[in-house]
A and B are shown apart, each in its own frame.
Chain A
Amino acid sequence: MSQTASSPDAIKLSLEENLIYLHQTLKGCDDFVFRPFRTAADIPGMLVYSALSTDQKYLSQTVLPALYRLEMRPERGFFPEAIRDRLPFLPEKAFTYWPEALISLTGGSTLILLDGVAETFPAATAQVEHRSIERSETEPVIRGPQDAFTEALDPNLAIIRGRMKNPSLKIHLIKLGEKSHTKVALAYLEGEIQPALLAEIRKRLSAIKLPSVQESGFLTEFLARNTYTPFPLVQSTERPDKVVAAMLEGRGAVLVDGSPFALLLPTTFWHFFQSPDDYFQSFFVGTIIRWIRYLAYILAAALPALYLAFTVFQPDMLPLRFLFSLSAARENVPVPTVVEIVIMLIALDIFREAALRLPRSIGPAIGIVGALVLGEAAVSAGIISPIMVIVLALTAISTFAIPTEDLRSTVRIFSYALVLLSSVLGLYGFLLGASAILLHACSLDSLGVPYFAPVATLHWREWQDVFLRAPWPVIGSKQQRIKAQRQNKR
């Protein structure tokens, strides 16, 4: 910005002129308080603050008395520095232009205006109520730390600092949102993160043009670049331990003020299958559970489509006895299998959405109504075959076994697509669809790191944290794919 003293946004010497400007700008904002005062040297001044987000006790007990005792007279060029020496609570920086001063004011600071001073001093009096640290709701673990991020940025960063007591943990603060001026922090471990990667994250962050940033989810599509994919290219988490682990792996974390979800990037497909539990238990258990998650993902995406393909197109691939039960179960169902599946899948998603939106106290009720009453009634009325209920229930449960919500929601898209393909082309259509999904996933990258690395890139040494959860002594010394200079930049 090229502003000069004559610019209308510049803070003037005269208190009166400044007050006219402020009254004009804050017109209609009834929460702002103008508190006049006179210093000991009889200079008139004004405190401007928001009654909502200001610690008024601090104001009246510390700020105001100090101002009353101020005995200096304004002298050109010297006065502001002298005042800062006398008033220890003032920050280093004073404002000479209104726009930045107003951002500070709306953020909860108190502006101190003095007649004859073309600057305004912000006193850090912000006090915003926020939630205390609670248990993680979206990523619960049985064993391990239970704390989760809250909406306020500073406590979140404090937790990360507390878990990583090291000056190489860098926290880079920027403001995003042309209107909301939201604080955004980029945290990383120097020495672990690749400089090129860091530069890329910074570049993408600074290129973001949004009127307001209310949640870290706003940023994902800017950071991932490739928007037209159902796969999540940026991992989000509300667990501090995950953020610290990711930073040790050479990844960056983006935290947004007002959002309890940190963004971790770059992200590969396999990151979504890692749960903190894996690393806190025996590695045998961790490995098996990880395999079960992969299986659950495949089942959630493929089971309805496979059921359709096998029963309608390729019954010769089913064992005879299984076919017996299937044909007996389906005998009285009036609709074709594909209609049955699509109806049930939609019903499943409606139940899910309903259970999510309902107040927590009656949420479980919808599950009972949906699963037990409706399912049982539909089967006994002969509209839906019992086998279909089993298939759908298994699909739903498999979906819930996927540890991250980001991936959970995408898998449903695939299951619909595969069902539609299977309904036309049978197993061939299913395989075609599955190959298309796989090809698409392999074509993706997250900040230059291939999405299916290290599996698709055949860096088999690193598979020990993908298909296995190798024991800590082994995993600790491993070469990390994101740390190493292995990304193929496009």
Chain B
Amino acid sequence: MRFLRGHRALPVILLCVLLLIPGCWSGHELTDQLIVLGIGLDKVGDKVRLTVQGIRPEASISTASSPTGSGGSDQPPFSLLSADGDSVQEALQKITRRVPRFIYGGHNQVFFIGESLAREGIMPYLDLFARSQWSQESAWVVIARDGTGQQLLTTTNLVAKYPSMGLAQTVRAHQVHIPTLFQFLLHYHDNSSCQILVSAAAAKNKTAPSGYQMEQLRLQPNAIFQGDKLVGYLNSSDCEAYAWLEYGFQGTSFSFPVSTVNGAPALGVSLTGAPAQFRVFSTPELGVRVEVDCNFSVTEDIPSPLNSPAAIRELESKLDQVLSQRFSLLFAHLQEDKTDVFNLAEKVHAYHLALWEKDKDRWPELYAKLPVEITVNSHFRHSGVMTKYPGFKE
């Protein structure tokens, strides 16, 4: 480059190079793009069926400008495009050829994965999206329980026009945790290679009066994954316990019987607390201690006045006992299935390297027999404005 040194044209040349090298020439007008909100992946025969949900801007226009604003048109506000192919790429190409727009996936919110595909292994199909130029790693991975991803994409109700948008609102409003593609990939490489994904099922709200039974997505963190394969589901009680341990209590309401008498009213409490701590110890033998620390406040019905420290301590120990029972039950089931969803393997690897090196090949068996100590430490924190419940006679 000596011939360029001190040359007056050098800055100009460099500037031109800067203009030309980046290849950022791929601007597309918004009107030329199909904005994808959700993607459904299903197995049909030996082919993969890709379903793409794109928004229809005209639909949003008509609802925006119509005086009623109810969006009373017969057509759904989105378009569904679907194609089968040997690979996702092939199916995507088929779709692209059929629509007069560019498929724009930068805002894809969710992958709905059909159960049959999930049981077979989802990694090969998500690979394309993980590599894509659009950063789709923040899109959620949701398993369609007993159904197909396509079905979940069509659920509409008045509250959420687009199922994926509805999902986003739910997540934001209720602090529901749905693992994203990024998180899935992260846990896929864990030592235990087990994780729990969220499953969804479209269901009508049966308790509402007829005519008001909106179709809703019921989200539950219960799909157990071993590697990239769905191996089973947690039952609903375990699923709750799992969420508490993994994500902590967030104003969780919980009721439990205070007296042992059958038919006695249950006490409602609201729990707050951080995720559980898992401590792996090796003396006298390998085991794990699960420490749960939580605060609670009473929300409903205090059958006996909480006016003495002893009464409060009694209530606390009762709650500790009920919660640890729930957690023990969860661990019993998990150990039975040899699914290390809390990734205890990682802890053993990190803190007890020698043990891990010796036994890592037979970890699932070891895990199944791992002694689990559960300590729940709950604290009564907020008494509310009254120490006695209103129904309690002076």
Residues of A bordering B, CB below 8 Å: 311-313, 315-316, 320, 323-328, 330-333, 336-337, 423-429, 432, 436
Contacts of A323 in B (CB 8 A): 30, 35, 107
Q: Are B27 and A330 within 8 A (Cβ)?
A: no
Which chain A residues lie closer than 8 Å to B19 at the CB level? 424-425, 429, 432
- B24 lies within 8 A of A428 (CB): yes
28 A-B contacts, Cβ less than 8 Å apart? Answer: A311-B29, A311-B30, A312-B28, A312-B30, A315-B104, A315-B106, A316-B107, A316-B134, A320-B109, A320-B165, A326-B30, A327-B31, A327-B57, A328-B64, A330-B30, A330-B31, A330-B57, A331-B31, A331-B57, A331-B61, A333-B31, A424-B25, A425-B19, A427-B24, A428-B22, A428-B24, A429-B19, A432-B18
Chain A residues with CB below 8 A from B31, complex form = 327, 330-331, 333
Assign chain B's interface to a size class: 20 to 34
What secondary structure prevails in chain B residues at the interface with A? mixed
Cβ–Cβ < 8 Å partners of B328 in chain A = none
Say whether B236 faces chain A, with CB atoms less than 8 Å apart. Answer: no
What residues of A have a CB within 8 angstroms of the CB of B277 in the complex? none
Which B residue's beta carbon lies closest to that of A425? B24
Q: Are A337 and B60 in contact (CB under 8 A)?
A: no
Q: How far is the CA of A423 from the CA of B19 in the complex (A)?
A: 12
CB of B96 closer than 8 Å to a CB of A: no
B108-133 interface code vs A (CB 8 A; 1 in, 0 out): 01000000000000000000000000
Contact of B255 with A by CB under 8 A:
no
A286, B24: Cα distance in complex, Å: 42
A326 to B104, CA, bound (A): 15
Known: A316-B106, A316-B134, A432-B18. A328 touches B57 (CB 8 A): yes
Interface string of B27-56 (1 = CB under 8 A from A): 111110101010000000000000000010
Q: Which residues of A contact B74 (CB under 8 A)?
A: none
What is the 8 Å Cβ interface bit string for chain B, positions 49-86, against chain A (1 contact, 0 not)? 00000010110110010000000000000000000000
Q: In the complex, what distance in Å separates the CA atom of A215 from the CA atom of B272?
A: 74
Interchain CB contact under 8 A, A425 and B25: yes
User: Of B24, B37, B58, B106, which contacts A426 at CB under 8 A?
Assistant: B24
Q: How far is the CB of A185 from chain B (nearest CB, A)?
A: 41
The 10 closest A-B pairs by CB, nearest first: A316-B106, A312-B27, A328-B60, A331-B57, A328-B57, A313-B27, A327-B57, A327-B30, A428-B24, A425-B24
The reply to whether B55 and A327 contact each other, CB–CB distance below 8 Å, is yes
The one of B26, B60, B107, B168 that contacts A313, using a Cβ cutoff of 8 Å: B26
Q: How many A-B residue pairs have CB under 8 A?
A: 74
| Chain A positions within 8 Å of B33 at CB level | 315, 327
Q: How far is the CB of A126 from chain B (nearest CB, A)?
A: 53
B residues lining the A interface (CB < 8 Å): 15, 18-19, 22, 24-31, 33, 35, 37, 55, 57-58, 60-61, 64, 104, 106-107, 109, 134-135, 165, 168
How many angstroms from the CA of A427 to the CA of B27 in the assembled complex?
A: 10
**A314 nearest CB across to chain B (Å):** 8
Separation of A47 and B176 alpha carbons in the complex (Å) = 100
Given contacts A312-B30, A316-B107, contact A327 B25 (CB under 8 A): no
C-alpha gap A331/B63 in the complex (Å): 14
Q: Which of B29, B134, B165 lies in contact with A336, CB distance below 8 A?
A: B29
Extra A-B contacts (8), CB below 8 Å, given A327-B57, A330-B31, A337-B29: A312-B27, A313-B26, A320-B107, A330-B30, A330-B57, A331-B61, A425-B22, A427-B24
B107: which of A315, A333, A424, A426 is its contact (CB, 8 Å)?
Answer: A315
Residues of B within 8 A of A311 (CB): 29-30
Determine the chain B residues whose CB is within 8 A of the CB of A424 once the complex forms.
19, 25
- Provide the bound-state CA to CA distance between A415 and B1, in Å: 36
By beta carbon, the residue of chain B nearest A331 is B57
Contacts of A333 in B (CB 8 A): 31
Residues on A with beta carbons closer than 8 Å to the beta carbon of B165: 320
User: Which B residues are CB-close (under 8 A) to A331?
Assistant: 31, 57-58, 61
Query: Is A315 a contact of B26 with CB atoms below 8 Å?
Result: no
Tell me the nearest residue of chain A to B31, going by C-beta: A330
A138 to B99, CA, bound (A): 56
Measured in the bound complex, the distance between the Cα atoms of B24 and A425 in whole Å is 5
Residues on B with C-beta less than 8 A from A337 are 29-30
A330 to B64, CA, bound (A): 14
- Residues of chain A within 8 A (CB-CB) of B25 are 424-425
> Are A313 and B24 within 8 A (Cβ)?
yes
**CA separation between A376 and B135, bound complex, in Å?**
38
Q: How far is the CB of B160 from chain A (nearest CB, A)?
A: 12
Report A-chain residues with C-beta under 8 Å of the C-beta of B135: 316
Closest to A335 in B: B29
B340 CB to nearest chain A CB (Å): 36
Contacts of B27 in A (CB 8 A): 312-313, 423, 426
Complexed CA–CA distance, A429 and B18 (Å): 9
Contacts of B107 in A (CB 8 A): 315-316, 320, 323
C-alpha spacing A316/B35, complex, angstroms: 10
Looking at A327, A426, A428, the one whose CB has the most chain B CB atoms below 10 A away is: A327
Give bound CA distance, A424 to B16, whole Å. 13
On chain B, the residues within 8 Å of A429 by CB distance are 19, 24
Bound state CA distance, A98 and B107, in angstroms? Answer: 83
Complex Cα distance, B9 from A371, in Å, reads: 45
Using CB atoms, name the residue of chain B closest to A309: B27
CB B239 to nearest CB in A, in angstroms, measures 29
